[in-house]
Chains A and B, each alone.
Chain A
């Protein structure tokens, strides 16, 4: 069964550093997403991406964050100047665009900012 692949599985970074979280969506999917889950809390929407541009973003997704699809397969989330409160699990997801099937989520990247 096709999978969404996220790397790394765990990243530790110092406060103020930049991090890039990487995702390889399912190849025939057209919509890409990033979600965040702070430990012990619910999963929150960050951003959706379609046709090489952001289609929607939440209040969490401020100027500190950016997304990019640098080639035909990768989808990245960049966090500039990380803060302690950015520590969370970050999930990438992709979909064909039909709500009927929801998304396929990746296994997540655990980001720890120290």
Chain B
């Protein structure tokens, strides 16, 4: 079974600083995809960043980047220059073709950006 673990239920960061959210996963698959989704107070699920497991290069999207360590099954999200609008719940998610293309989500990390 695939599982996703996020060990930090809550985190806070000062505006303009950098924060890293942790995610580990467990799978026997070799080909899979990893995602970070953001859920602001509006509760909509918004894609932040994605990573293909077969790509060694870490994905980046503006202020968001990941540190993907395949051997360690770790997929952390770094947010640089944190903004108040980054305050949200962040979910790490895993997907593989062999699991019906369905997401397995982690329990989430609630991030608060403080002014």
Contact = CB atoms under 8 A, between A and B. Distances in A.
A101 B42 contact: no
B44 A108 contact: yes
Contacts, number: 59
Nearest to B108: A42
A35 B43 CA distance: 13
Interface string A26-69: 00000101010100011111001000000110000000000000
B33 interface: yes
Interface of A is mostly: strand
Contacts of A55: 100
Interface in B47-104: 47, 50, 52, 91, 93, 95-97, 100-104
Contact of B105 (A42, A89, A107): A42
Contact of B33 (A43, A100, A104, A107): A100
Interface of A: 31, 33, 35, 37, 41-45, 48, 55-56, 89, 91, 93, 95, 97, 99-108, 110
